[in-house]
Amino acid sequence: MTEHPVGIRSPLPTPAPTLDERWAESRASLVERLRDRITADGPITFAAFMAAALYDSDGYYVTRPDRPSRTGDFLTGPEMDPLFGAALAAHLEAGWERLGRPDCFQLEEFGAGSGALASGLLGELRARHSPLLEAIRYRPREVDPTREAAILRRLEAEGFGPGPVQHDPGAPITGAVVANELLDALPVHRVTAVGGTVLELYTTWRDGWFADEPGPPSDPALEATLAASGVELRDGDRAEVSLAAQEWILQLAARLARGWLLLIDYGGPGAALWGAPHPEGLLRTYRAHHAGADPYRAVGQQDLTAHVDTTAVRNAARAARLAPMGQTTLAEFLAGLDAGELLVRLGSDPATTAPRYRTARGALLRLLDPGAMGRFAVLGFGRGMAFEPPLRGFDFRLTRG
């Protein structure tokens, strides 16, 4: 777990913006709809506010196609360099073999962004003439269908269509589901403790802008999740609970016939995230590669994210009757996939330019750095296949659940 995604500065104290500044930096139409909803029906959960701020038609993820880029607000591993996706090729090949080489191997990627992960992955399969390329059926999953179509057009332009880039998105899955830095962006409820009692922090409209308002928990699952994760809140402590992440796992598990979920994200066991370790909680905002801590600024114009409780994730997978494949760090996962050898091969290719090599080397160093992205958690859960010996990537000092 790393406290902040790498390459983005920690939140710094800044003067409180005026109401005029808050309106100017936000999407006014989105603010107005949320204001009218709260005024008419009362405070809403922060999860509802976050869902609107990120996924509404005027929300951040729908209106900002450049968000995961060097010119956007943050940078994910796949967007840093194709080596990230290329390294996953060995992992997927091993899983395909373990499943008995099915003629149709479905791969769904949630939060696919620009399609960079798929581009690197399919490019590596093509470079090594892997038979998996003939069996794979890739489907990007994004909040905006037009974004999915753009990804498919990109891959087809790179020579990967139409076979490898289509399958029925509602069909039972025999294959893999990949979610890289997805769970941290799902809506969270915010909670606090007062007098030994857990309260939920709702979003209200006060003095012309959004504000927190404590109240009874909207769902008993909030307290149950904290308890199951061993989180102990002292008076005044804050924490975030993602019921949406648990529900997402349950829904995907219902479609998974044979195969596995591969989850890569920043976070850690709940007991190590909230309470004494981080009494103010770990909700963060990201804009122009800078971190902040005020979720009510730049509404619809900034990313909202919270660290992932891996204990809750494991409990949700268990409830969905998925078996643990293993848990490791991104650094060890990539080491188990011989990512370093991919860099060596790139450097020995006469067609590789010096700038291209430097970019790839810099990206890989960051992905392997235990003080940077290398700390990200990698978890696998599946059914209908053997998990011993450990699948490629999970075989580097594997931690079993």
Output the pLDDT for position 163.
Answer: 64
Asked if residue 389 has a cis previous peptide bond (ω within 30° of 0), the answer is: yes
93 inside domain: yes
Tell whether 193 and 300 lie within a shared domain.
yes
The CATH number for 84's domain is: 3.40.50.12710
256 inside domain: no
Output the pLDDT for position 67.
Answer: 58
252 inside domain: no
Give the burial string for 201-213 (b: 16+ CB within 10 Å, else e). Answer: bbbbbeeebbebb
Tell whether 98 and 160 lie within a shared domain.
yes
Query: Identity (one letter) of the amino acid at 388?
Result: E
Asked if residue 187 has a cis previous peptide bond (ω within 30° of 0), the answer is: no
Burial label, 63 (beta-carbon count in 10 A; 0-12, 13-18, 19+): middle
Residue 139 pairs with which residues in a beta bridge? Answer: 108
Output the pLDDT for position 171.
Answer: 80
Output the pLDDT for position 164.
Answer: 67
3-state SS of the chain?
Answer: CCCCCCCCECCCCCCCCCHHHHHHHCCHHHHHHHHHHHHHHCCEEHHHHHHHHHHCCCCHHHHCCCCECCCCCECCHHHHCCHHHHHHHHHHHHHHHHCCCCCCEEEEEECCCCCHHHHHHHHHHHHCCCCHHHHEEEEEECCCHHHHHHHHHHHHHCCCCCHHHCCCCCCCEEEEEEEECCHHHCCCEEEEEECCEEEEEEEEEECCEEEEEEECCCCCHHHHHHHHCCCCCCCCCEEEECHHHHHHHHHHHHHEEEEEEEEEECEECHHHHCCCCCCCCCEEEEECCEEECCCCCCCCCCEEEECEEHHHHHHHHHHCCCEEEEEEEHHHHHHHCCHHHHHHHHHHCCCCCHHHHHHHHHHHHHHHCCCCHHHCEEEEEEECCCCCCCCCCCCCCCECC
- CA separation for the pair 159, 319 (Å, rounded): 40
Tell whether 24 and 161 lie within a shared domain.
no
178 inside domain: yes
The closest alpha carbon to 138, from 258, 71, 117, 61, belongs to 117
118 inside domain: yes
Domain count within the chain: 2
Tell whether 195 and 300 lie within a shared domain.
yes
Say if residues 301 and 30 touch (Cβ distance below 8 Å). Answer: no
Query: Cβ of 395: how many Cβ atoms within 10 Å?
Result: 17
The closest alpha carbon to 388, from 316, 317, 332, 323, belongs to 323
Burial label, 218 (beta-carbon count in 10 A; 0-12, 13-18, 19+): middle
Query: Cβ of 224: how many Cβ atoms within 10 Å?
Result: 14
Say if residues 310 and 268 touch (Cβ distance below 8 Å). Answer: yes
Tell whether 136 and 201 lie within a shared domain.
no
39 inside domain: yes
Output the pLDDT for position 161.
Answer: 75
Output the pLDDT for position 101.
Answer: 98
Tell whether 122 and 152 lie within a shared domain.
yes
Tell whether 93 and 166 lie within a shared domain.
yes
Tell whether 317 and 180 lie within a shared domain.
yes
Residue 285's domain comprises 19-52+189-241+278-304
Residue 110 pairs with which residues in a beta bridge? Answer: 141, 179
Tell whether 145 and 122 lie within a shared domain.
yes
- CA separation for the pair 332, 367 (Å, rounded): 10
83 inside domain: yes
267 inside domain: no
- Residue 198 has φ and ψ, to the nearest 5°, of -80, 125
Task: Give the pLDDT of the chain (401 residues) as one tens digit per residue.
Answer: 333 443 334 455 567 899 999 999 999 999 999 999 999 999 999 999 999 999 999 999 888 666 554 455 556 889 999 999 999 999 999 999 999 999 999 999 999 999 999 999 999 999 999 999 999 999 999 988 888 999 999 999 999 976 666 556 678 999 999 999 999 999 999 999 999 999 999 999 999 999 999 999 999 999 999 999 999 999 999 999 999 999 999 999 999 999 999 999 999 999 999 999 999 999 999 887 688 999 999 999 999 999 999 999 999 999 999 999 999 999 999 999 999 999 999 999 999 999 999 999 999 999 999 988 999 999 999 999 999 999 999 998 754 44
User: What are 192's two structure tokens?
Assistant: 């606090």
Looking at the whole model, is its pTM more than 0.75?
yes
Residue 241 pairs with which residues in a beta bridge? Answer: 189
- CA separation for the pair 29, 165 (Å, rounded): 36
Output the pLDDT for position 289.
Answer: 66
Tell whether 366 and 318 lie within a shared domain.
yes
The closest alpha carbon to 182, from 291, 62, 287, 264, belongs to 264
Output the pLDDT for position 175.
Answer: 97
Tell whether 215 and 298 lie within a shared domain.
yes
Tell whether 155 and 232 lie within a shared domain.
no
